[in-house]
Amino acid sequence: MDFLTLKKLVRQGEGSRLEFKLKAKYPEKIVREAVAFANSEGGILLIGVDDDKTIKGVKFPLEEEYVLEKAFAEYCIPHFKYQLVKIPTEGEREVLMFHIPKSDRIHYVLDNPKHKRGKAYVRVDDKSVQASYEMLEILRGNLKKRNVKFNYGDKERVLMQYLAINHKITVSQFSKTANIPRNLASQTLILLVLAKVLQIKPSEVEDSFEFVEPEK
């Protein structure tokens, strides 16, 4: 990629598949962005680009590269694949472009390299959100690539009627509306997402579920 192509990419702004960082400051937090891309649809992490779309580049690209690759190795399990491209900018600086493809595994971020369990993140618009229990189960189910079937009963009827009016629902709302235990509401929604009847909308507060949008 040359500088002109980079400028066109940056003009798009941050989104579900593009993240800007001015430098590798707080690298353990940048790992979240990379992991979210790997757990979602993939994406590009640009180091040396400000939030206002100013392409400043980094003065010491080798140091920035070392810091980030070390953080990826220490704070992520399992390790994810990525491709690094260095793009020269003005003033003998460089932008580091980490291209992270969608993974066939679930990746977690460790709060501490000594810990054995971490948190998974997914990409939602221009943010990286911690995956809920439901989101993790959906990720696991999608990786198995099985045809999922479900029985249409009373709780599913209540759910469809609610969605027809309100368009979206949370696990808590479904549990209350259908008068069923929360874990049953959760499992029902997960199953319907895996059956491609519903889709999940991850959130920092509480995920919501809605009908799958028809293909255009």
CATH code at position 16: 3.30.950.30
- The beta strands (E) that lie in 54-150 are given as 76-77, 83-88, 94-100, 108-109, 121-124, 127-130
Cα(179)–Cα(173) distance, integer angstroms: 10
Q: Answer yes or no: do 31 and 104 share one domain.
A: yes
Q: Answer yes or no: do 123 and 155 share one domain.
A: no
Q: How many domains does the chain have?
A: 2
Q: pLDDT tens-digit profile of 156-174?
A: 999 999 999 999 999 999 9
Q: Which residues contact 145 (CB under 8 A, 6 or more apart)?
A: none
Does 154 fall in a domain?
yes
How far CA 142 is from CA of 14, 110, 205, 206, in Å, comes to 26, 23, 23, 21
Average pLDDT of the chain?
A: 93
Q: Answer yes or no: do 141 and 119 share one domain.
A: no
Does 216 fall in a domain?
no
Provide the CA 148 distance to its chain's centre, in angstroms: 23
- Is the separation of the CB atoms in 77 and 110 below 8 Å? yes
Boundary (domain end) residue, out of 89, 113, 130: 130
Q: pLDDT tens-digit profile of 109-149?
A: 998 777 778 999 999 999 999 999 999 999 999 988 777 88
